[in-house]
Chain A
Amino acid sequence: MNLTLKIWRQKDSKTKGQMVEYKVTDISEHMSFLEMMDVLNEQLVAKNEEPVAFDHDCREGICGMCSLHINGEAHGPDRGITTCQLHMRMFHDGETITIEPWRAKAFPVIKDLVVDRTAFERIQQAGGYISVNTSGNTQDANGIPISKHDADKAMDAAACIGCGACVASCKNSSAMLFVGAKVSQFALLPQGKVEATERVLNMVKQMDEEGFGNCTNTGACEVECPKGISLENIARMNREYLSASMKG
């Protein structure tokens, strides 16, 4: 496959960026999108040009590092995948592909296609944890009965890898699917009940302070999420928040 790539190039967070056009040739349809990016970078290095910076780590769809807004969609045109799982067979020979970083005020561009997602870390630090007594009297988690229904729902929410595709694909740059998943995975389990009130209040407060937009229920996040996190988690977070607000 021969492709034309229009890629966002930005020297650093303070410099203004722009779209730059590149040509890549002899791309195998069996390659992953990131491997295609590797080929481009090898070409650039061979020409003594600056390679394109992009995030990646496990390349197995687990770590949530790879981002990229490809042809107008987070993680590209396929569904239920991260960019490392996107294959070049989803494109056709001669196609022009636009590649942009996640766009959100809360996710500033560091360089080229790499954005700073530590806003998610700060939200997690605000309440995305449970406190466990480790004095030797810790109760075995398996000793606490949990219904299959709740365990499954908590597990589904915990599948969130924090990649930020929800923010990237939302027209409002809302992080409510991410926060909803993180609140839900604890709210559904007995271990999470102890700090439930403070958790949701603090995490939502941090989310608002980071400058994410507000959810208008378009559902784009759910469609683009590589882990299939459901909007049900946002509704649960809303319930948890309203209930916590009543308690004060």
Chain B
Amino acid sequence: MSGFLSSSIARKFAMALSALFLIIFLIIHLTVNLTSVFSEDVFNQLSHFMGTNPLIQFGLQPVLIIGVIFHFVMGFVLEIRNKGARDVKYVNFKGAANSTWMSRNMIYSGLAILAFLVIHFIDFWLPEMNYKYIEGLPADATRYYEELQHKFVPIWRVAAYSVAFVLLALHLLHGFQSAFQSMGFNNKYSSFVKALGKWYSIIIPAGFIFVTLYHHFNH
């Protein structure tokens, strides 16, 4: 890695920037998902708009995919370098005495989220790409709600998604406030950011779990 990203602080900053981008994306994703609980029509319309609008499909979607890939790749690069910075391990290392489990295990919660994303892409994104661009089937603005309900019939998928969202919550509990610190934000408003991060980390994953459970029990 050369140029600006060869520095440790620049990598931190880039990691934080991609994290904040994904944090905003999660709010949009959950908002769309939640409409499915209240109105089949609104969910279908929003999904159709998201799936057919050229700006979203060919502008924002690639940016999102690049953002996700960058966040994971940079996470792995940093983890490998950080592991290499201690060539001889401690016989006794009490990490729990001075830091949270979430902060020390971001790589593992991140890996679990990555595994979830693979399943999520196979479940929703790949069939969608197949429908639109490979089979080239006619646009149907009413199909999305039914497809969503159908996906959450098997309990194993609901369970897998719920576990992934719990790990997402753990990842965010450290990641949210950590992103601000990495970008140099540490001042009198930091306690507010930490509190906001805690609420966000609980409410957003809980919202996703609620939607999966709702469709499992109401199909």
- Residue numbers of A with Cβ under 8 A of B are 6, 8, 19, 69, 71-73, 77, 98, 100, 103-106, 109, 169, 171-174, 176, 204-205, 207-208, 211-220, 223-224, 231-232, 234-239, 241-242, 245
Contact flags B74-97 to A (C-beta < 8 A → 1, else 0): 000010011011111111111101
Number of interface residues of B (CB under 8 A): 41
A177: min CB distance to chain B, Å: 12
| Chain A binding surface SS class | mixed
30 chain-A/chain-B pairs, Cβ below 8 angstroms: A69-B90, A69-B92, A71-B94, A73-B97, A77-B97, A103-B89, A169-B98, A171-B93, A171-B104, A173-B82, A176-B8, A204-B8, A208-B6, A212-B8, A217-B174, A217-B177, A218-B98, A218-B100, A218-B174, A219-B99, A219-B103, A220-B98, A220-B99, A231-B186, A232-B187, A238-B12, A238-B182, A238-B184, A241-B7, A245-B10
- Residue numbers of B with Cβ under 8 A of A are 4, 6-13, 78, 81-82, 84-95, 97-100, 103-104, 106, 174, 177-178, 181-187
B-chain residues with CB within 8 Å of residue A103 when the two chains form the complex: 86, 88-90
Q: Which of A104, A106, A220 has the most CB of B within 10 A?
A: A220
Within 8 Å by CB of A71, from B9, B92, B98, lies: B92
A-chain residues with CB within 8 Å of residue B104 when the two chains form the complex: 171, 218
B-chain residues with CB within 8 Å of residue A8 when the two chains form the complex: 91
A-chain residues with CB within 8 Å of residue B100 when the two chains form the complex: 218
Q: Is A223 in contact with B90, judged by CB distance below 8 angstroms?
A: no
Within 8 Å by CB of B85, from A72, A169, A212, A220, lies: A212
Q: Is A171 in contact with B10, judged by CB distance below 8 angstroms?
A: no
Identify the 9 closest CB pairs spanning chains A and B, nearest first: A72-B94, A235-B186, A213-B85, A239-B184, A172-B82, A223-B98, A213-B82, A218-B99, A173-B85
Q: Is A171 in contact with B95, judged by CB distance below 8 angstroms?
A: yes
A-chain residues with CB within 8 Å of residue B187 when the two chains form the complex: 232
Q: Is B90 in contact with A105, judged by CB distance below 8 angstroms?
A: no
For B102, give the chain A residue with the smallest CB separation.
Answer: A218
Q: Is B98 in contact with A217, judged by CB distance below 8 angstroms?
A: no
Bound-complex Cα distance A6 to B90 (A): 12
A-chain residues with CB within 8 Å of residue B12 when the two chains form the complex: 214-215, 238
Assuming A19-B91, A71-B94, A218-B103, is B82 touching A235 (CB within 8 A)? no
